[in-house]
A and B are shown apart, each in its own frame.
Chain A
């Protein structure tokens, strides 16, 4: 690992998110200072300079996402505006720049094009859909609702329609209540797995509840009775990048260590699969990464039923020609987990989709507790070959697969002073200081 650059002071308060654009030439950052900044990389010198900077919300900004450039320069931002929350809504703003007449980046200016007020809690994650699906945006908030929006007026970006609202806690597993009983329990349930059993048993009731709430066209009161709002509610989401299987989102909510893989459907979205990490036995517990492979959920037992941690970040890897998907999760139990998700065999006809063999299966291919403390973020590189994770141990770790497809640690870098290096001596490294 080598340090290649530095922005010495990005914001007036803690940065809450930083996201690269499609090319990696611009970096959008947001902060507790309620501002969004767009930085541009000066390629010759490798330094970053502010291209635009504006106050985006009336509260800290929590998350950002860039749309695919075929839709233009568009950023969505989510906020944890407590004052707005009290009013029962949090804004999400999409902000494309005004057209740049001269073709010069310096002439572009960002303006707010739309605000979406549906969420009833802090927006914890926003992510634009892969471009094949059009200009769509998914959000998840502490109200436990995954919302999908679609832009109806692309040139103006003024009109966004809420096309789906999914209560993560209560969404029915499986495409239909009857189908769920076999495919889901067979794929997931183990003798000790209470979640799956509950899902199966209550599927009909859940479906019924969903129908009722949909008819009432109101958000189900899923947060009722939940105590610690910081720990509960929706945490994270990630779109499946491969259009082949339709619109699929992995979403993490609550504190049961579960990530739900949700197939979006105009008629009724449903859970394709549920990923459950085994309960943490504490940060000190050792986890040998070399033994991590081959933990097939369909065959082996017992992801523990007493998991009580939140999955704070989920990242769906670009599939890049692989016959399976990789999903990484970061948990407050201190684990970075990598799941291999296999779609049903391609030669299954439509009729067979209901067949037991037509199910998705998941295998844990990596479970690492190197951070020994809560992990807050996981992210893949664009080819889905390097996973990076950030933990409360103050270190960033990189994970890669070996030639034999075993995932292992490939590097790490920390932010603590190293013992031998006195503070404020950047000369010893190749650092490009930004003034």
Chain B
């Protein structure tokens, strides 16, 4: 992730190592190698030693290993963010969200309602928020305070780099309203002087303490650099010091120079660029006059005993004249880099240099004075000065994926990036997704990960789905908060499940929502919370899942659970709810009706409300609600009702109906469908053999026979 991280460095190794350096091939000869597994949680890898595919006998003894333990190492491509980094990611995410809200607003997207400048102005405000925030982080990271958690994961210098890059980006590409086509020199100079202070204040202090500073070696370089940097206060101070110089010529010339420096036109002081241009031309004429004056100084008077002051002054005048070759040479002599030349170019050589002009100029200058290839920050600056957006993003991603992602977002918002038609991903999406996958290495930040992914096109959204689906729902989380646990059980959607559900709704990820509901339902089934499971299935429109829940509830009966009636009544409200659902069909619905009716029957039997039980039982048989495998069970339950002595509970026609059903089972069983018709009864009464099961059913036949006899006697 950081520049200190050695992506691809070959020397990296797990600890403790498995074998000594260079001995892995011997391990392979012994039939061992390594394998891996990638974690869905955070993309980390599990690495372990396995037998090779060629191992003749994978169980044979091995000896090369440092020890005989079987380790599993866990490694991650990215260093997971520390607490302070996490805060940085979360806080900047808030600004990112505001930007997304802005750029996705219809008014922003409409080409007619907002002018280009206005649009950029809105974006600029948020970009400046970013810059200010990074600045705060830099200041915070620079504080020499005790850090109990150890040193910061990202140094203050890292935040400083982010600060310089982001602020340069704003200067160059998100200009103030109305300044898009204005000369950019002053703004760049301000940026440079804020971030790369030269000449140093210490040098100035030291020189100002001297009586004859011009006798010091650093005097002329300091003065020249102060002028190149537009530091008028310092430069006029030291120029005025030269009034004490023994040479009359120099006194005279510096007087003019001071007035020239003080009067150099600045764009800010003019109401129009035209006036600025006119004033600049006049000023240049005055510089020209100074040059003529300078040239008139005879050779003999150009040396003051310490220094050839004339050459030094000539360089300064050369810079003021806007002579590029002089500027480059002087900057180089003073240890300045391409940046210093580029910025000064826009002040002295081409004061009307616009952003578009800068890109070409910078390319030429960088070709002569290359940026430091070992310094990512410098490379990013160079790419920005040259207007190379993809290169900017590439270098930024090497410094910090955070930077490339957020720069690409702003580039996207201001239309700077070109989209290749045949590419899978736009450059903006590519960098946003790279960053999102970095954030994903900290699974606690899943909601940030998905927000970045869902801000992209279809590919990004699909990736977001993968992450969102896999957010651990933590049903089994051991919690000391019993109230929360109870709320979950009582059907209140709380915690992660609620968050995931809301995220699905917010981003309209119906497919994910349904999958998550199905998983939740499955978990509730495991907890025997069938009511909640069924409502999740209904929410996911997972009818086969609902069918399985009904099966589970029926299985409770088969297993002889004392809570069957309670379980069934927890899903009973669905019958009513689903009856209003249009286009609903399927076996599951009838099974659902069956389980609720059957549970009611069991409840009546348990409460010994036999008359109602008998009429319910007949209704179940008459309306053919029971699945075939349950007929025998229902009939078996009729025995106590048939044998109920105080009263005859069935009419003879109802009793005949039961007999017919019994006959049906006998016939089907004799035709070889015994398994289908007797399976559930078999498990309910714990009898396996078909013949024995038929004997059990004979009990029903016997009860019916007795019942008919009683009917006959009573009728008679």
> A residues engaging B (CB < 8 A)?
1-25, 27, 29, 31-32, 41, 48, 60, 69-72, 80, 99-101, 103-105, 131, 154-155, 230-231, 235, 310, 312, 318-323, 332, 373-374, 376-377, 379-383, 385-386, 388-394, 396, 398, 403, 405, 409-421, 423-426, 428-429, 431
Contact at B74–A14, with CB atoms within 8 Å? no
CA distance A18 to B72 in the complex (A): 9
Enumerate chain A residues within 8 angstroms of B15, measured Cβ to Cβ: 3, 6, 421, 425-426, 428-429, 431
For the complex of A and B, the 3 pairs showing the least CB-CB separation, nearest first, are A24-B41, A394-B24, A321-B462
Tell me if B37 and A423 are in contact (CB < 8 A): no
- List, in ascending order, chain B residues with CB within 8 A of A41's CB: 41
Let me know if B51 and A25 touch, CB within 8 A.
Answer: no
Q: Closest approach, in angstroms, between the C-beta of A113 and any C-beta of chain B?
A: 14
Partner of A398, one of B28, B77, B431: B77
Of the candidate stretches B53-61, B113-121, B347-355, B582-590, the one touching chain A is B53-61
Check B71 against A1 for contact (C-beta < 8 Å).
no
| Interface of chain A: mostly helix, strand, loop or mixed | loop
Are A312 and B28 in contact, with the CB atoms below 8 A? Answer: no
Contact of B522 with A70 in the complex, beta carbons under 8 Å = yes
User: What residue in chain B is nearest A414 (Cβ atoms)?
Assistant: B13
User: Of B27, B43, B461, which contacts A394 at CB under 8 A?
Assistant: B27
Query: Is B340 positioned at the interface, with any CB of A under 8 Å from its CB?
Result: no
With beta carbons under 8 angstroms apart, the residue of B28, B35, B459, B555 that contacts A155 is B555
Which B residues from 94 to 152 make CB contacts under 8 A with A?
none
Nearest residue (CB) in B for A426 is B15
**Is B50 located at the chain interface by the 8 A CB criterion?**
yes
CB of B70 within 8 A of CB of A13, answer: yes
Q: Which residues of A contact B527 (CB under 8 A)?
A: 99-101, 103
The verdict on B467 contacting chain A, using a C-beta distance below 8 Å, is: yes
B residues at A contact (CB < 8 Å): 5-25, 27-28, 32-54, 56, 58-59, 66, 69-80, 390, 393-394, 423-425, 427, 430-431, 433, 437, 443, 457-463, 465-467, 470-472, 475-476, 478, 485, 515, 518-519, 521-523, 525-528, 545, 548, 551-552, 555
Q: In the complex, which residues of chain A have a beta carbon less than 8 angstroms from the beta carbon of B390?
A: 403
Contact: A14 with B50, CB < 8 Å?
A: yes
CB contact under 8 A between A23 and B72, given known A383-B466, A390-B34, A415-B13: no
Is there an interface contact between B515 and A14, defined as CB atoms closer than 8 Å? no
Q: A417 near B17 (CB under 8 angstroms)?
A: yes
CB-based contact B37/A20 at 8 Å: yes
Chain A residues with Cβ below 8 Å from B24 are 392-394, 414-416
The reply to whether B46 and A415 contact each other, CB–CB distance below 8 Å, is: no
Q: B519–A424 contact, CB under 8 A?
A: no
Whether B8 and A5, one on each chain, are in contact in the complex, defined by CB atoms closer than 8 angstroms, is no
**A62 vs B522: C-alpha distance in the bound complex, in angstroms?**
29
Inter-chain CA distance A156–B26, complex, in Å, is 47
28 contacts between A and B (CB under 8 A): A2-B79, A3-B14, A14-B51, A18-B48, A23-B41, A24-B443, A69-B522, A103-B475, A321-B463, A323-B424, A376-B53, A381-B43, A382-B467, A383-B463, A383-B467, A385-B437, A388-B36, A412-B8, A415-B18, A415-B34, A416-B17, A416-B21, A417-B66, A418-B13, A419-B11, A419-B21, A423-B17, A431-B15
Q: B526 touches which one: A10, A99, A425 (CB < 8 A)?
A: A99
A227 vs chain B, min Cβ distance (A):
14
- Measured CB to CB, the closest approach of chain A to B129, in angstroms, equals 27
Please report the number of residue pairs spanning A and B whose Cβ atoms sit closer than 8 angstroms.
Answer: 310
Question: Is the CB–CB distance between A13 and B472 below 8 Å?
Answer: no
Most chain A beta-carbon neighbours within 10 Å: one of B15, B45, B430: B15
Chain A hits for B548, CB < 8 A: 154-155
A380 vs B555: C-alpha distance when bound (angstroms): 40
| Inter-subunit contact A6/B73 (CB<8 Å) | yes
A377 touches B7 (CB 8 A): no
In the complex, chain B residues whose CB is within 8 Å of the CB of A312 = 53
Interchain CB contact under 8 A, A410 and B7: yes
**Could you list 12 further interchain pairs (A-B, Cβ under 8 angstroms) beyond the known A4-B74, A131-B515, A385-B437?**
A1-B76, A18-B35, A20-B39, A20-B40, A99-B528, A374-B52, A381-B43, A388-B38, A415-B18, A416-B13, A417-B21, A418-B21
Q: Report A-chain residues with C-beta under 8 Å of the C-beta of B9.
A: 412
Chain B residues, Cβ within 8 Å of A25: 41, 472
Contacts of A403 in B (CB 8 A): 390, 393-394, 425, 427, 430-431
Count chain B CB atoms within 10 A of each CB in A2, A21, A71, A376 and give the residue with the most.
Answer: A2
Interface pair B13/A386, CB less than 8 Å apart: no
Give the distance in Å from the alpha carbon of A3 to the alpha carbon of B457 in the complex: 33
Q: Tell whether A27 pairs with B46 under 8 Å between CB atoms, given A379-B36, A416-B18.
A: yes
Expressed in whole angstroms, the minimum distance between the Cβ of B299 and any Cβ of chain A is 59
| A412 close to B35 (CB less than 8 A) | no
> Quick check: B80 and A7 within 8 Å, CB to CB?
no
Q: A24-B40, A398-B77 are in contact. Are A382 and B545 (CB under 8 A)?
A: no
| Nearest Cβ on chain A to B165's Cβ, whole angstroms | 18
Q: A403-B390, A417-B19 are in contact. Are A32 and B72 (CB under 8 A)?
A: no
Q: Is there an interface contact between B470 and A23, defined as CB atoms closer than 8 Å? A: yes
List residues of chain B with CB within 8 A of the CB of A424. 16
Asked if B41 contacts A394 (CB within 8 A), the reply is no
Give chain A nearest CB distance to B111 CB in angstroms: 28
Cross-chain contact B424 with A416 (CB below 8 angstroms): no
In the complex, the answer to whether B58 meets A9 with C-beta atoms within 8 Å is no
The smallest beta-carbon distance between A267 and chain B, in angstroms, is 23
**Distance between Cα atoms of A212 and B146 in the complex (Å):** 80
